[in-house]
Amino acid sequence: MYDLAIIGGGPGGYVAAERAGAAGLKTVIFEKKSLGGVCLNEGCIPTKTLLYSAKVYNYAVTGDHYGVYVKEPSFQYGEIVDRKDKVVKKLVGGIKAAMKGFKVEVVNAEAKVTGRSAEGIAISADGKEFLARNLLLCTGSEAAVPPFPGLKEAGDVIVTNREILALREQPKELVVIGGGVIGMEFAAFYNTLGTKVTVVEMLPKILGPLDDEISAMLQKVYAKRGVNFCLKCKVTGIEGNTVVYEDPEGKVCRVSGDKILVSVGRRANFKGLGLEELGVEFALNPAGRPVGVKVDSKMRTNIPNVYAAGDITGFSMLAHTASREGEVAVNNILGKEDHMRYEAIPGVVYTNPEVAGVGLTEEQAKASGKDFTVVKLPMAYAGRFVAENEGGEGICKIIVGKKYHEVLGVHMLGNPCSEIIHSACIAIETEMTLEQLKEVVFPHPTVSEIIKETAFTIK
Ligand code: NAI
């Protein structure tokens, strides 16, 4: 009998397993592919590794801006991909070691819930039966691929985040359907390496949930570097290696590439797990279709002792959300008071320049009817940013409540904002006011000082 069985070894599952193991719970984790899940094997880590190679190449190309000359900078695409694989392998090894360290049993097999009794929850995997007092579902999500006419016939021209990572040859021309996070990160990577990139996006802006001003700035940067953006464009079909779409005037247009990346969102994995039979309730979209496992703020499903965390909930599909949700579930299993809060979850896009934000955007603040003020400064107000980003653009925007000056949102464009956004997360999580933020001593010289400088511009 296990105290906790976890299905899915991604950042929701393996972090929960570590916390549970550390707390002394007898824990088993089931993973049918590779520990680390999409994040480590086909998502966050491999893309950031590729993007870092592109960044290093870009440093070589633009070295002259810093008085450094590199003769004929070049790269070996295969070696970039090999390094990505090496990084993934190393980190998967790290998780395996952590599981061992925390005495978590790892079962490399597909698991299915087979029943529930007074004794516990039964799970079958690898031809064996496992019984656990608590179950945590962390089966993640997969790329949603709409049934565009002609998509099947296009064969391996069509790639999602998974197949594109495995390419051994750099596409000369890439069409990206969907200018969201995945689309823009791959657009950035391939654009830096010289691939001709076109982004076809149905909304009037890239990176929909991002602050409008920042999204427009990023688009301008990449348009200047040659990325072709087709906004308000609806894809109507695929013809071989050609994407057919309708432009805003309803004109039928075509754009071709040797690869077509479909990055139009992700779908939670909750089918085939035996959840329907168990009576687990699902969250429904406005059309009444199930989009994920329904949970409360303690990550409990409607079935006692059955919890869910991460993308399987169909909500806030981010690795760091998943990990925190896993921790919340484990704390509740341990009888500790803990619940999930989503106000201070950061979002980062690892383009170059990076984008990072947390809390309400200006548009969301307006829509919420809150009385708020926006303060903002160019990143160039931070000395370190100027030193390290020759000619680089950037902005820091803080959204604050008008009356109490509480921090409602912080949004930035400029390197390395992914590494400094957590200070804004802390400010929002602890309900800090700008006055309190101003009293915090930030290290000098760092780009992080831009947050404090921006706070001082409040009237
Ligand atoms: P997304 O939801 O970020 O973007 C999808 C985009 O496709 C949207 O802009 C949408 O308007 C557009 N779209 C949808 N249907 C379309 C159509 N038929 N034609 C043209 N455009 C269409 O989804 P994405 O980029 O696939 O990412 C999936 C998930 O992975 C997200 O939840 C994201 O948060 C997560 N992720 C996070 C990363 C990060 O934190 N840096 C990196 C990569 C993924």
* Crossing angle between the packed helical segments 181-192 and 44-61, to the nearest 10 degrees: 30
pTM of the prediction? 0.97
Q: Please say whether the beta carbons of 17 and 102 come within 8 A.
A: yes
CATH superfamily of 152-264: FAD/NAD(P)-binding domain (3.50.50.60)
* Rounded-to-integer distance, Cα 31 and Cα 8, Å: 5
- Given a cut of 90, is residue 451 above it in pLDDT? yes
Phi/psi of residue 355, each to 5°?
-125, 140
Which is the closest atom of ligand 1 to the Cα of 311? 32
Smallest Cα–Cα separation from 282: which of 317, 318, 306?
A: 306
Mean pLDDT of the chain: 97
Instruction: Answer whether 350 contacts ligand 1 (Cβ < 6 A).
Output: yes
Atom of ligand 1 nearest to the CA of 184: 25
How many angstroms does the Cα of residue 182 sit away from the middle of ligand 1? 6
Please list, in sequence order, all residues whose beta carbon lies within 8 angstroms of the beta carbon of residue 49, skipping any fewer than 6 positions away: 83, 84, 87, 88
pLDDT at position 417: 98
Rounded to the nearest angstrom, the distance between the alpha carbon of 42 and the centre of ligand 1 is: 15
CATH fold of 2-143+267-333, please?
A: FAD/NAD(P)-binding domain (3.50.50)
The answer to whether domain 152-264 and domain 347-455 are alike in fold is no
In ligand 1, the atom with minimum distance to the C-alpha of 180 is 4
Position 427 scores a pLDDT of: 98
Spatial contact of 377 and 396, defined as CB atoms under 8 Å apart: yes
Express each pLDDT in 8-40 by its tens digit.
Answer: 999 999 999 999 999 999 999 999 999 999 999
Give residue-wise pLDDT tens across range 312-339.
999 999 999 999 999 999 999 999 999 9
Atom 26 (ligand 1) nearest CA = 265
Q: Which pLDDT value is given to residue 54?
A: 98
Residue 442 DSSP class: P
Q: Is the C-beta atom of 348 inside 6 A of ligand 1?
A: yes
Give the residue, 459 or 171, on which the prediction is more confident: 171
Question: For residues 338 and 331, is the Cβ–Cβ distance under 8 A?
Answer: yes
Best of 49, 176, 184, 202 to mutate for ligand 1, by most ligand atoms within 8 A of CB? 202
Per the rule left: phi > 0, alpha: psi between -120 and 50, beta: everything else, 340 is beta
> What per-residue confidence (pLDDT) applies to 9?
98
CA distance 240 to 156: 10
**d(CA 263, ligand 1 centre) in Å:** 6
Instruction: Copy the structure tokens of residue 9.
Output: 């070894």
Per-residue pLDDT tens digits for 133-150: 999 999 999 999 999 999
pLDDT confidence of residue 28: 98
Q: Is the pLDDT of residue 393 over 90?
A: no
pLDDT band (50, 70, 90) for residue 179: very high
Instruction: Establish whether residue 199 lines the binding site of ligand 1, counting it when its CB lies within 6 angstroms of any ligand atom.
Output: no
Q: What residue ranges do the domains of the chain occupy?
A: 2-143+267-333, 152-264, 347-455
The residue whose C-alpha atom lies closest to atom 5 belonging to ligand 1 is 264
Rounded CA-CA distance 293/305 in Å is: 14
Is there an atom of ligand 1 within 6 Å of 179 CB?
yes
The pLDDT of 64-93, averaged and rounded, is 98
263 lines ligand 1 (CB under 6 A): yes
333 Cβ closer than 6 Å to some ligand 1 atom: no
Q: What are the φ and ψ backbone dihedral angles of 139, each rounded to 5 degrees?
A: -90, 5
Residue of 62, 118, 39 lying closest to 388 (CA atoms) = 62
Residue from 165, 182, 355, 358 whose mutation best tests the ligand 1 pocket (most atoms within 8 A of CB): 182
Q: Is 209 in the pocket of ligand 1 (CB under 6 A)?
A: no
From CA 136, how far away is CA 13, in angstroms rounded?
8
pLDDT score of 271: 96
Strand order from edge to edge, sheet including 259-262: 158-159, 259-262, 173-177, 196-200, 228-230
For ligand 1, atom 32, which residue shows the shortest CA distance? 317
Amino acid letter, 14: Y
| Residue 320 is among the residues annotated as catalytic for this protein | no
Q: Which atom of ligand 1 is nearest to 347's Cα?
A: 40
Task: Report how far residue 372's alpha carbon sits from residue 99's, in angstroms, rounded to the nearest whole number.
Answer: 46
**Per-residue confidence (pLDDT) for residue 292, from 0 to 100:** 98
| pLDDT one-digit tens code per residue, 347-391 | 999 999 999 999 999 999 999 999 999 999 999 999 999 999 999
**325 C-alpha to ligand 1 centroid (Å):** 21
Is domain 347-455 annotated with CATH 3.30.390.30?
yes
pLDDT band at 449 (very low <50, low <70, confident <90, very high): very high
List the structure tokens of 386.
């100027």
Tokens of 350: 């690892």
- Would you place residue 156 in the very low, low, confident or very high pLDDT band (cuts 50, 70, 90)? very high
- 198-247 pLDDT tens trace: 999 999 999 999 999 999 999 999 999 999 999 999 999 999 999 999 99
Using the mean position of ligand 1's atoms as its centre, give its distance from the Cα of residue 157 in Å. 19
Beta carbons of 123 and 111 less than 8 angstroms apart: yes
| Rounded Cα gap, residues 333 and 357, in angstroms | 32
**CA torsion through residues 116, 118, 120, 124, sign:** negative
- CA–CA distance, 333 with 27 (Å, rounded to integer): 12
Cβ proximity of 231 and 223 under 8 Å: no
Ligand 1 centroid – CA 267 distance (Å): 11
Structure tokens at 40: 């480590």
Number of H helices, E strands in the chain: 14, 24
Distance CA 35, CA 31 (A): 6
Residue 319 Cβ inside 6 Å of ligand 1? The answer reads no
